[in-house]
A and B are shown apart, each in its own frame.
Chain A
Amino acid sequence: MKHSWLIAMRELKERVKSRSFLLMALLGPILVLGLTYLLFALGGSEKKILNVLIMDPQEIMSGKIMPKEDPNIKYSFTNTYVDFEEFAKYEEYQKFDIGVELNEKVISNKHIKVMYRETPSERVKTRIQYHVERRFEEIFVKEFTQLSVQKFREIKQPMQFHFFNVYDPKNTDSKLSAWAGYFFGLIIILFIFLFGMTILRSVSKEKSNRIVEVILASVSARQLLVGKVIGIGISALFQFVLWSIIIGTGLFILRETVFIDLLDPSNFNPQQMTQEIANASMQEKLFAAREYNDFVELVYERIQFSSMLIFFTLFFIVAYIFYGSFFAAVGASMGSESDGQQYIIPIMSLLLLALYGGYYTVYYPEGPWANVFAFLPFTSPVAMMVKLGIGFSANDSWELFASLGILLGSALLMFYLAGKIYQNGILQFGHRLKAKHFIKWLKKS
């Protein structure tokens, strides 16, 4: 193990010192932040003004949400319940695009039903959630606590918004959190591909410059493989930690400085507001701030980062070993440094299948294939991240551990098989890699 550790540390140092590692650590998070922001910003380009009907029989919201709270959303109120069918068919409701139902127990159960005719953009969804939830916070604080609104926000439980298509109410739910899970799955696949290729290059480079023979005179092929996979794996985790820190800090700094929460009453400064409104560009900034807050709201309060990150790390590590073994086996089998590139295509296809599996799970979380994707080791890292994003009920949490267990078992098996190919292929030079080589080296003890 000491030898494997020495090899791992050498790999880690080499990776971390490389320019591509630093570049990835800087560009990756900027790209992620930029793309996510763009996603929300572009969502705001729709010109249509949405008519939203708030069904509030208890009149909790009366006078709390201003009809023109948002330039793109017009709120109206009714003190009756309207069910899906009425909302879908009755003439008086046809002018409303979205209906928000505040049931009589909303203060205790925190569930809010939202019905729509056309699927609203994520931006519109988060805005409505934001407006309703912020007002609820004020109601909660006023009626039930002695706390300030800000203090209350730190300890509150988020409201649960359930989105339904009025014409097909059973079909869909909010996919926002599923997409957040998909994003984590995407990061797993991206990192597996990038660092898997690093394993492949590192193995084939050692092989082609023949240092491998010197190393193998001190350590066994398996120790070398273990060291390599661990070293590159740690560098991948380190890269992810850098991403998390940069993205997290970036969001935090932006929220605290540039996009200070102007809607928060405790930050409200009428004089400053008047000044800012007088200045057109500042008004834009105000608008941007509000938009950004929707995003921050999603990022900081809707994604369950703690469990997401724990399972992300677990799935990432195990999936990395699983796929990394493939890459190591191909790298060790190459006859020359440029040989065997065609064998990367099947691995890439499997990675793409994993992404497709995740995409499918977002849309059909209960579909027949979703369960297959969730347990198949090739696809489970993404599918499970999506499922985790949607959330598991206490009864279903075994699925998460079962899927992780299957993946772990498969990873160990793959590592064992890749170790055999590695051991037998690493000292073979000058051939043109064919599928029969893999079989031959697998059979050999």
Chain B
Amino acid sequence: MLELDSIYKSFYRKRAVADISLKVKEGEIYGLLGPNGAGKSTLIRIINKIIQQDKGFISFKGQILSSKHLNEIGYLPEERGLYKSMTVEQQAIFLGRLRGLSKNDAKESLRYWLQKFEIEAWKDKRIEELSKGMAQKVQFICTVLHKPHLLILDEPFSGFDPINIELIRKELKQMRADGKSIILSTHNMKSVEEICDRGMIVHKGVKKLEGNITTLREDKKEGIFAIQFQGNMIAFANALWTGYEIVDKEVLADNRFLVHLKMRGENEFNDLLATLIPHVKIEKAEEILPSMEDVFIKEVNGPQNTEDEA
């Protein structure tokens, strides 16, 4: 659907993004991750043709991205904004028409979304009469009104309560199922783990990591296992002896523990289980994958990141 090939952009000799390439497939949610000032917004503005890249190519559906493709893209910027004195309907018609819809199609599409979100009563309300969360919802509707094939969402969950976050998440999953592509730029790593298929971590304008979200987490795993059991903690420790290293332990109740441990030597998960089964009653045992937050922090704060920035 969308392909970026070695994109460079500087502002007054200060690098904003350098050599960034990525591919977003059909029916995929792609996470764009990075700390503040990493260059995410610049990249998003380049894809939206708000600013022009200095170098590199962007293709959309196999063609060089041009203004004619903008009607197939929906964009929700991080800093939300609507015309405060216009009503929800006027706003939607105006923004819809800018994206190539006819007045009637915009009205029809708005009706569909207002019904879906059960907010038909808002249609004639001016934006200034709505709460911040309500306005956010309207802005989301305005973003998807023209049924874009590519949706670019910058922090789409900020400002929403948990119920509405779930609502938006559900819609995004539905759009993915319908074959739409979504680029999600966010700091909310939980959302990334939950809904993103693939993603990229950008730091100081350069790509640090890219890939399938589960694979990214797998790659960063450190061989730590979590064992929850009932029994004697001393017996548990004795059974492990020198083949394993206890990283952390938590007392859940009398004779009930959760232990994080690392393998030593050639030991594997099955060996661990075989060692423990005769001594304690195992309730739960799993390998711990690092959270995306851990991956993100490690990647951004890692020692290898200190050398760049010209």
CB within 8 Å of B: which residues of A? 3, 6-7, 10, 14, 206, 209-220, 427, 440, 444
Cβ–Cβ < 8 Å partners of B80 in chain A: 210
User: A217, B51: Cβ atoms under 8 Å?
Assistant: no
Instruction: Report if B56 contacts A (CB, 8 A).
Output: no
Q: Report if A217-B48 is in contact (Cβ < 8 Å); known contacts: A3-B98, A6-B94, A440-B12.
A: yes
Cβ–Cβ < 8 Å partners of A218 in chain B: 70-71, 95, 98-99
Instruction: Report if B81 contacts A (CB, 8 A).
Output: yes
Distance to closest chain B CB from A72 (angstroms): 55
Cβ–Cβ < 8 Å partners of B70 in chain A: 217-218
Cβ–Cβ < 8 Å partners of B86 in chain A: 14
Instruction: Report if B161 contacts A (CB, 8 A).
Output: no
Q: Which residue of A14, A213, A440 is within 8 Å of B77 (Cβ)? A: A213
User: A211, B82: Cβ atoms under 8 Å?
Assistant: yes
Instruction: Report if B50 contacts A (CB, 8 A).
Output: yes
Interface string of B89-110 (1 = CB under 8 A from A): 0000011011100000000000
User: A214, B84: Cβ atoms under 8 Å?
Assistant: no
Residue in B closest to A208 when the chains form the complex, CB atoms: B81
Residue in B closest to A13 when the chains form the complex, CB atoms: B90
Distance to closest chain A CB from B261 (angstroms): 49
Q: Top 6 closest A-B pairs, CB basis?
A: A210-B81, A211-B81, A210-B79, A218-B98, A217-B75, A217-B48
Q: Which residue of B51, B77, B85, B97 is within 8 Å of A214 (Cβ)? A: B77
Residue in B closest to A10 when the chains form the complex, CB atoms: B94
Cβ–Cβ < 8 Å partners of A216 in chain B: 48, 50
Cβ–Cβ < 8 Å partners of B139 in chain A: 214
Q: Which residue of B12, B73, B79, B85 is within 8 Å of A217 (Cβ)? A: B73
Q: Count of chain B residues with Cβ under 8 Å from any Cβ of A?
A: 27
Residue in B closest to A443 when the chains form the complex, CB atoms: B12
User: A427, B98: Cβ atoms under 8 Å?
Assistant: no
* Pairs across A and B, CB under 8 Å, 28 listed: A3-B98, A7-B98, A10-B83, A10-B94, A14-B86, A209-B84, A210-B77, A210-B80, A210-B81, A211-B81, A211-B82, A212-B81, A213-B75, A213-B77, A213-B79, A213-B81, A214-B139, A214-B142, A215-B98, A216-B48, A216-B50, A217-B50, A217-B73, A217-B75, A218-B70, A218-B95, A218-B98, A220-B67
Cβ–Cβ < 8 Å partners of A211 in chain B: 81-83
User: B98, A6: Cβ atoms under 8 Å?
Assistant: yes
Cβ–Cβ < 8 Å partners of B85 in chain A: 14
Interface string of B135-174 (1 = CB under 8 A from A): 0000100100000000000000000000000000000000
* Chain A facing B: main interface SS: helix
User: B75, A214: Cβ atoms under 8 Å?
Assistant: yes
Residue in B closest to A17 when the chains form the complex, CB atoms: B85
Instruction: Report if B45 contacts A (CB, 8 A).
Output: yes
User: A219, B51: Cβ atoms under 8 Å?
Assistant: no
User: A6, B97: Cβ atoms under 8 Å?
Assistant: yes
Bound CA–CA A213/B142 (angstroms) = 13
Distance to closest chain A CB from B66 (angstroms): 12
User: B98, A213: Cβ atoms under 8 Å?
Assistant: no
* 15 further A-B pairs in the complex, CB-CB below 8 A; given A209-B83, A215-B98, A217-B75: A10-B83, A10-B94, A14-B85, A209-B82, A210-B77, A211-B81, A212-B81, A213-B45, A213-B75, A214-B77, A216-B50, A217-B50, A217-B77, A218-B70, A218-B99
Cβ–Cβ < 8 Å partners of B83 in chain A: 10, 14, 209, 211
Interface string of B26-50 (1 = CB under 8 A from A): 0000000000000000000100111
Distance to closest chain B CB from A425 (angstroms): 12
Bound CA–CA A215/B81 (angstroms) = 10
Distance to closest chain A CB from B98 (angstroms): 4
User: A209, B50: Cβ atoms under 8 Å?
Assistant: no
User: A209, B81: Cβ atoms under 8 Å?
Assistant: yes
Distance to closest chain A CB from B56 (angstroms): 17
Q: Report if A427-B94 is in contact (Cβ < 8 Å); known contacts: A209-B84, A212-B81, A214-B77.
A: no
Cβ–Cβ < 8 Å partners of B45 in chain A: 213, 427
Cβ–Cβ < 8 Å partners of A212 in chain B: 81
User: A214, B81: Cβ atoms under 8 Å?
Assistant: yes
Q: Report if A213-B12 is in contact (Cβ < 8 Å); known contacts: A6-B97, A10-B94, A427-B45.
A: no
Bound CA–CA A393/B95 (angstroms) = 53
Distance to closest chain A CB from B99 (angstroms): 6
Cβ–Cβ < 8 Å partners of B73 in chain A: 217
Residue in A closest to B75 when the chains form the complex, CB atoms: A217
Residue in A closest to B142 when the chains form the complex, CB atoms: A214
Residue in B closest to A219 when the chains form the complex, CB atoms: B98
Bound CA–CA A210/B139 (angstroms) = 12
Distance to closest chain B CB from A47 (angstroms): 55
Distance to closest chain B CB from A215 (angstroms): 7
Cβ–Cβ < 8 Å partners of A213 in chain B: 45, 50, 75, 77, 79, 81
Bound CA–CA A326/B117 (angstroms) = 44
Interface string of B60-78 (1 = CB under 8 A from A): 0000000100110101010
Residue in A closest to B47 when the chains form the complex, CB atoms: A217
User: A214, B95: Cβ atoms under 8 Å?
Assistant: yes
Cβ–Cβ < 8 Å partners of A220 in chain B: 67
Bound CA–CA A393/B75 (angstroms) = 60
Residue in B closest to A440 when the chains form the complex, CB atoms: B12
Residue in A closest to B74 when the chains form the complex, CB atoms: A217
Cβ–Cβ < 8 Å partners of B77 in chain A: 210, 213-214, 217
Distance to closest chain A CB from B117 (angstroms): 19
Bound CA–CA A211/B82 (angstroms) = 5
Bound CA–CA A216/B45 (angstroms) = 9
Bound CA–CA A284/B50 (angstroms) = 69
Residue in A closest to B73 when the chains form the complex, CB atoms: A217
Cβ–Cβ < 8 Å partners of B50 in chain A: 213, 216-217, 427
Bound CA–CA A427/B95 (angstroms) = 19
Cβ–Cβ < 8 Å partners of A440 in chain B: 12
Bound CA–CA A213/B84 (angstroms) = 15
Residue in B closest to A212 when the chains form the complex, CB atoms: B81
Bound CA–CA A440/B67 (angstroms) = 27
Cβ–Cβ < 8 Å partners of B48 in chain A: 216-217
Cβ–Cβ < 8 Å partners of A214 in chain B: 75, 77, 81, 95, 139, 142
Distance to closest chain B CB from A420 (angstroms): 14
Distance to closest chain A CB from B107 (angstroms): 15
Cβ–Cβ < 8 Å partners of A217 in chain B: 48-50, 70, 73, 75, 77
Interface string of B102-138 (1 = CB under 8 A from A): 0000000000000000000000000000000000000
Bound CA–CA A210/B76 (angstroms) = 11
Bound CA–CA A7/B94 (angstroms) = 8
Residue in B closest to A207 when the chains form the complex, CB atoms: B81
Bound CA–CA A219/B100 (angstroms) = 11
Residue in A closest to B76 when the chains form the complex, CB atoms: A214
Cβ–Cβ < 8 Å partners of B12 in chain A: 440, 444
Cβ–Cβ < 8 Å partners of B142 in chain A: 214
Distance to closest chain A CB from B87 (angstroms): 12
Distance to closest chain A CB from B52 (angstroms): 9
